[in-house]
Structure 1
């Protein structure tokens, strides 16, 4: 199927491709518990909500304490669209444009809403026995709330009998997720999170492993209850993932990006993936699209990996001077490809 730039622009609204990466719903909405609806408690909750949002967008736990954000911390209402009470919580809606502007002016790089979908194999080992947290269980709500609070798209397995038997402590804490890999394929996630949570003396502790592609992260977390444990653990996961998808100000450069094997549905997916890089479509040749983007090479590779795109590394063709030098018994000069051009394919 061949494409033209005009055809792409006309047909784009009709198509969408559900990639593995997942946009985080309500990224700019924060729910903070409150003890009362008194003004002092409300103002404190607004401050906590702002700190939570800044952590979501920057991936840095201490970003809100930056001196450059002192005025914003003093008056968080300047980036608040609205707020209201729901039960024992204050629900705050932040304005995305003014919040991002304030953070960029403070020289923070931002993590967009398009983030790796994480499949969590979460085994609770408590006083009532061991159980894998499944999608339809009441314990799943605790994990979902923690994931939303920390800005992560989380998926849970069905936790049927075969998966309950599979999720053993040995498999969850293994160096490689071999035992979980085939069972995870049905859920089409970008990353696998394996958690072994244990209760001891009324406290919860956990060991966790995170696999994203060929890279692994691991750590430990603890909390007074399951909700506190889930929040602490997913905060740590967020902080480990964020550096892969954000870059420090000034690190981005102008790059040419070629994508091979694009149809209309994949074009829609590319538009979503490349949105953080101010991508501009500059050329359409058959099923190959060329974009101009502003990003670092590492960040761009991490983002495209979410859609399972593979980098094309072609060896530069030989030239006549190469052949002449080879006949003299000496290797010809190696012609390096342009470093500002990246090529990927599906």
Structure 2
């Protein structure tokens, strides 16, 4: 059985070298942007290409003001050079009064070309896979207290996601199943208690954890007290947002989240990924585990390519192409809950 597994892993290694170019190939749609367009004409398309490019720049960096930078201006001047393709679709839009049909242009940009242009200008970007943030949102509204998730508070989470997605952040809602309800209560969120939240979050494996307590303040404004538990050994950060509407308070919270996440996750990439880092992982006893480890390593900050170099028993030695200092990769490995340090490498936790 062991020999069969080693042969299978060796085959997988050869295939991985061929197919694992930029990390997480299934995420190709991250370079696609959809914008409303007047019609299918070339003139109308040219009018909105710059708008689509600006949206991609914000998504890659988490910085709304990137659109006013010199590199953004240069990219807009040759926007067609960064376009890989486009398509149209018609969608139904309901503005509350009546439903209408709207034409949208889906533009597929070369993410590599845009990211490299940003890197050469010294602009920090998100990792290739969007940062995931587990959101524990405690709400106190209309006499009710609850943690949003499952079948409660969907509108609250939707408002936060709508604000965070354009900034390149992927919010994740907790399941709020029996395990979550047993491990965490509203009082933990309301009190800003970090340790029980951190413990309850381990099962999700997100890049960071966000707590928020939503309540209506004076003047019936919505107010949220936020607490960010970033990874990579960064300190806990707290801030507040207040606004007259749910959408506005969540938008302000998403901007604050992006600013703080950038401190630990964004980096100025090496466009050529000339630096390399080697890591050994034990506990790889199946092709499924091999693929899972490859995907996990590819999600680490600064990793642009993952190549298996050697198989021995249940251990695989990986060679990582990195665009950041090796120290950042080492810290990300140490903080990953599914990789247990062994002294000379790591063990994969199934």
Q: Same fold (TM over 0.5)?
A: yes
Q: CA deviation at 1:255?
A: 2.3
* Deviation, structure 1 residue 133: 2.0
For residues 183-235 of structure 1, what are the alpha-carbon distances to aligned partners after superposition, in whole Å with 9 as ceiling and x for unaligned?
A: 44565545332101233435333211122455423322344422232233223
Match of 2:259 in 1: 239
Aligned residue number for residue 284 of structure 1: 311
Shift of 1:57: 1.8
Aligned to 1:298: 327
Q: How does 1:1-346 map to 2 (within 5 A)?
A: 1=2, 7-11=8-12, 26-30=29-33, 37=38, 47-74=50-77, 76-80=79-83, 81-82=85-86, 86=91, 87=93, 92-95=106-109, 96-126=111-141, 129-137=144-152, 138-139=154-155, 140-159=157-176, 163=181, 166-168=184-186, 171-178=189-196, 180-181=197-198, 183-184=200-201, 187=204, 189-200=206-217, 201-213=219-231, 215=234, 216-249=236-269, 253-263=275-285, 264-275=287-298, 276-295=303-322, 296-304=325-333, 305-306=335-336, 308-313=338-343, 343-346=345-348
3-state SS of paired residue (2:71): helix
Q: Which structure dedicates a bigger proportion of its chain to helix?
A: 2
Larger radius of gyration: 1
C-alpha RMSD of the superposition: 4.1
User: Secondary structure of 1:262's match?
Assistant: coil
In the alignment, is the contact (CA less than 8 A) between 1:69 and 1:106 conserved in 2? no
Q: 1:42 to 1:218 in 2, by over 3 A?
A: farther
**Can you list the C-alpha shifts for 1:98-122, whole angstroms capped at 9, x where unaligned?**
4334434444454334345432111
SS at match of 1:247: coil
Q: Which runs of 5+ in 2 are unaligned?
A: 16-23, 96-101
Separation of aligned partners in 2, 1:25 and 1:135: 29
Shift of 1:283: 1.9
Larger mean Cα displacement after TM superposition, 205-214 or 241-250:
241-250
Q: Does the 8 Å CA contact 2:131/2:168 hold for their aligned counterparts?
A: no
Partner of 1:206, secondary structure, is strand
CA separation of 1:284/1:211 partners in 2, compared to 1, >3 Å: closer, same or farther?
same
Aligned-partner SS, 1:54: helix
Query: How far is the alpha carbon of 1:77 from its aligned partner?
Result: 5.0
In structure 2, how many angstroms separate the alpha carbons of the residues matched to 1:115 and 1:29? 14
Tell me the distance in 1 between the aligned counterparts of 2:5 and 2:267. Answer: 33
Per-residue deviation at 1:164? 11
Contact 2:9/2:311 (8 A) holds in 1: no
Q: CA deviation at 1:248?
A: 2.6
Contact 1:131–1:164 (8 Å) recurs in 2: no
C-alpha separation in 1, matches of 2:248 and 2:56: 18
- For 2:294, what is the secondary structure of its paired residue? helix
Distance of 2:183 and 2:338 partners within structure 1: 30
What stretches of structure 1 of length at least 5 have no aligned partner?
Answer: 14-20, 315-342
Q: CA 1:282 to 1:26, structure 2 compared with 1: closer, same or farther past 3 Å?
A: closer
Q: Is the 8 A contact 2:54 2:72 kept in 1?
A: no
**What TM-score, normalized to structure 1?**
0.69
Sort the Cα spacing of 1:62 and 1:155 in 2 relative to 1 into closer, same or farther, 3 A. Answer: same
Q: Residue 149 of structure 2: SS of its match in structure 1?
A: coil
Q: Deviation of residue 309 (structure 1)?
A: 1.1
Contact residue 24 and residue 115 of structure 1 kept, 8 A: no
